[in-house]
Structures are given as C-alpha cells and as structure tokens.
Structure 1
Amino acid sequence: MKIAVISDIHANIYALINLLEDIDNEKVDTIICLGDLVGYGPHPNEVISMIRRRHILCIKGNYDSSVVDNEYSYIRETPINSFSLPWTVNELREENRIYLQNLPSTLSLKICNRNFLFVHGSPNKINEYLFENGDNTNEIMKSLNEDVLICAHTHLPSTKDFNGKIYINCGSVGKPKIGRPNSTYCILNINNKDGMKVQIKEIPYSFNRIIKDMTMLNFPSPLIDSFQTGSE
C-alpha cells in the first residue's frame, strides 16, 4: 500500500494544488492529512473545499481547534496570531467551521500487520511539539503501543528509528520551517514482503502568488516573510 501523508497546509491553496499534482503523479492508494488546514494563510475556505472534494482522510490540528473555539486554546497568543486567528474566524464559512469541529483528533490503522498511529502534535496533546531528538519524543516512543507514529505540527520533516518503533514527521505543505519556501510531505510504501519504506519529498511551488494575495489583504509583514523564507 502506498500512502501520502500531508499536514499543516495553513490556508495556502497554491501549495496544496501543486502538492496534490505531485501526489497524483506518485499514484498513491490514499492520502491522509494530519490537520492545520487553516490559520496564517489567506485561503481557508478554498483549502477545506479541496480537501473535502478530494475525499482526503483528515484529522484535526491545533490551529483548526483554536479557530473552531475562537480562542487561544491551542495556539500561542502572539502578535501574528492576534491577527491570524480573528481574521480566519471571520473569513471561514459556517459549513467549513462545522467540518473542522467534527474532525477526529487521531487515526489508528493496521496495515500489513503493523499498527500505525496518526496524530497532529503528539499522542498526548494536539499542540505538543515532537522533534526527532527531543526528550519528550524519546519518552513517547518508549511507551508507544503502536509500531509507527506519524505526526506533524513542527513543520520540520524527519524520520527516526527508536529501537524498532518508527517516528515520522511529514513536515508542512503550506508554511514550512526548513529555511526554504517549499512544501514537504511523506510517502509510505508498505507491503508484507519489504516492510515499510519512508520517503520525504520537498516540492517547490509558486510562492509569489500567495505573497501577492497576503500583501493585497494587508497581512502583517512578518507573517508574509515567513511564507517567503520558510522560517518562523
């Protein structure tokens, strides 16, 4: 089975369209999204509509949850979020807010006798950062019941073997933090003969289009810069 795992689109429709074209070329069996469809970017309704139209299996991210709550419940109260949260709440159509509200928080699958757990942040908290060399990541992987943990939220793709338990972070489609304005996602090739192979892909896109949209809408300069540079 061939699975594409995507996350952290953050209302960037141009990055999503470009990435889905690459995924279609990969001829995957299914796509799984780990959340944060909205926040930061200017196209929340368009992104949700595309995810729904493509019938992409999706779980809820921390920014999705805060937008549903209209509170800083799962995001930090920063100058950028003080703009982005109310802007997204006001922009989002009610049907799309209800869609986000009803998304599950985790997904568990058994494929080829391996148990997979898909989360946005961590198995413990939707907004917990799991970096591959973090002490909290090591503790979570020690106690993990499943064979493979797939997460996101950090916007930094990586994979690591923890004594036979596999940690995978698929990175970010729409707002990377890799120092480049490119989308990242991962492909899982799983079969009984070869086990599992993990490929992390980095895909460039025409980021100037979203920069133009954000500028026209008077988004804060630091937020625009983060999309352009691929950094916080």
Structure 2
Amino acid sequence: MRDVRLLLISDIHANNTALGAVLKDASSRRYDQVIHLGDALGYGPNPREVLDVLRDLDAVCIMGNHDQMLLEYVDGKRATRDSVVSLALRWQIERLSERDIGWVRTWRDGIDDPDVGARYRHGTPVSLDDYTDSVAAAREVFGQWQGRLGFVGHTHVPAVYATLNAPTGEWIKGQLFHDGGSYMVPPTTRVILNPGSVGQPRDGNPRASYAIYDTARSHFEVFRVAYDIPRAQEASLEAGLPQVLAARLAVGK
C-alpha cells in the first residue's frame, strides 16, 4: 500500500460553481490524486466546463448513472421522457463535443485500486445503481462484498457505514456528516465511505460536500463548503433548465 491523500468528490451534476468552490477549499489541504465517484453530468448548466476541470485535474472518473444515461441517449438506447432528468441530459448532449462524449465512454463502472486497497464505484461496492443509504442496505452490501475499503457516491449524503465485530458476527453502524466531520478507520473494520455531493447535496445542508482520505492514517474527513448558490441558480435558469433544478440548490434537497 502506498501513502496518499485522496481528494474524493462525487455527484457534481454539471454545477461548476460548486466545483470551483470545492477545489479552492481543497487546495489548502494537500492531496495527491482526485477520485470522482460518478455523475459529473446531469441536472446542471455546466457540463462542458465540469468535464474540462476533471480532465485538467487528471481525475480518476467512475461511471455514474446519469453519465451512463447520457451515453444511452447519445446511442439511441434510451426512450425520451418528459422528466427533468431526461430534459437536462438531452440539453447537455447538445453542448458536449465528440471529444467530451468519447472521454465519458472511457469511464469504468467501478475500479479496484490495489495501491490503496479500495474499490471505487458509484452506487455501492457491488452496484452502479443501488444506494448505500441505510444500515439495512449496507448490511446487504457487506454480505455480497468482502472488501475492506469502499468509496461510493449516488446518495448525495456524506456518510460512513462500518462493520463492528460482535460475538454473533458483524454488526453495521452508520454515521452521517451533515456539517462535516472525520472518521478514523479501525484496522479490522470494513467500511463504505461517501464524500457526499459537490453539486447537489440532499441532506438539508446546501453547502457543497467533499472528503479527503489519508491512507497513511486511515483517516476520512468530510468538508462542507459554501458557494455562490444564486450564481449557480441563475446559470441554470438562463440555460432554460427546469426551475425545480435551480430551486432545490438553495435547500439542499
């Protein structure tokens, strides 16, 4: 295992205003590698700009469900719907270059990183689409996956789910990070760690969320960052995207 500090980001959803604030905040904390856990695209007004930033960061990018849906629309494999998800993705397709779409095609549905001893995937360590959003869900995942360290996104809520050894077997404990916070991973504990959402938090806190994982210390820390929400809302409305997508940014839902 090598000692690195991972900058963990997820669910940017084409919100470049929030991404800029996160990267500015993270610049003072030192990191070696950027891991994006899926859903760079969908919902927001800045798909091209977000991809440019991730490319410049040389980020390791995992396929998210919105990224996958966008490719399915491009390839004519998904029926058009009247939902806000569909409207935003089809609007974004018109603003992305062939180079952009070609790069998204290279993103993988999950990566095992032997240098860190971790699995990166969007939904759970064993699924792109399922949610690690409760103790019950985490218990099911831990039953299917024997890894020790998993990093996921998808829920838009920063959290850790950990196994606890007990006389009757493994118990599961969950912890949320509504206002940020840290977690030291014990040596014998198996964990699923979620940095929350950069571009569209859903835990009632509208501040952007990200995390840094220090492999030398087995230390996971979540940070919440205020950003210019009115500016992001204005960009969304000017783009003609559904009003609900701008409104929800202010309430973190």
Structure 1 length-normalised TM: 0.90
Question: Is 2:2 aligned against 1:5?
Answer: no
CA deviation vs aligned residue, 1:181-231 (integer Å, no higher than 9, x gap): 21111111122xx4x111111111111111111122222121111122210
Which position in structure 2 is the counterpart of 1:125?
127
Which position in structure 1 is the counterpart of 2:143?
142
Amino acid at match of 1:8: D
Kept after mapping to 1: 8 A contact 2:126/2:145: no
Question: Is 2:107 aligned against 1:97?
Answer: no
Which position in structure 2 is the counterpart of 1:53?
56
Kept after mapping to 2: 8 A contact 1:132/1:167: no
Q: Partners in 1 of 2:93 and 2:128 — Cα distance? A: 19
Which position in structure 2 is the counterpart of 1:215?
237
Which runs of structure 2 are paired with 1:114-193 in the superposition (5 Å)? 115-133=117-135, 135-163=136-164, 164-191=189-216
Say which structure is richer in helix.
Answer: 1
Cα RMSD, aligned residues only: 2.1
Kept after mapping to 2: 8 A contact 1:158/1:168: yes
Which position in structure 2 is the counterpart of 1:226?
248
Choose the corresponding residue for 1:86, options 86, 90, 110.
Answer: 90
Secondary structure of 2:221's counterpart equals: strand
Amino acid at match of 2:160: T
Q: Partners in 2 of 1:69 and 1:33 — Cα distance? A: 21
Kept after mapping to 2: 8 A contact 1:120/1:127: yes
Question: What is the CA-CA distance between 1:69 and the residue it aligns to?
Answer: 1.1
Question: What is the CA-CA distance between 1:136 and the residue it aligns to?
Answer: 2.9
Which runs of structure 2 are paired with 1:55-74 in the superposition (5 Å)? 55-70=58-73
Question: What is the CA-CA distance between 1:166 and the residue it aligns to?
Answer: 0.8
- Higher Rg: 2
Kept after mapping to 1: 8 A contact 2:62/2:111: yes
Identity across the alignment (%): 26
CA deviation vs aligned residue, 1:56-113 (integer Å, no higher than 9, x gap): 1111111001101117979x966212321211222222111111111111121234xx
Kept after mapping to 2: 8 A contact 1:8/1:172: yes
Question: Is 2:40 aligned against 1:37?
Answer: yes
Q: Partners in 2 of 1:143 and 1:16 — Cα distance? A: 33
Q: Partners in 2 of 1:110 and 1:199 — Cα distance? A: 22
Kept after mapping to 2: 8 A contact 1:132/1:159: no
Question: Which residues of structure 1 form unaligned runs of 5+?
Answer: none
Question: Which residues of structure 2 form unaligned runs of 5+?
Answer: 165-188
Amino acid at match of 2:250: Q
Kept after mapping to 1: 8 A contact 2:123/2:153: yes
Which position in structure 1 is the counterpart of 2:114?
110
Kept after mapping to 2: 8 A contact 1:44/1:92: yes
Secondary structure of 2:58's counterpart equals: coil
Secondary structure of 2:197's counterpart equals: coil
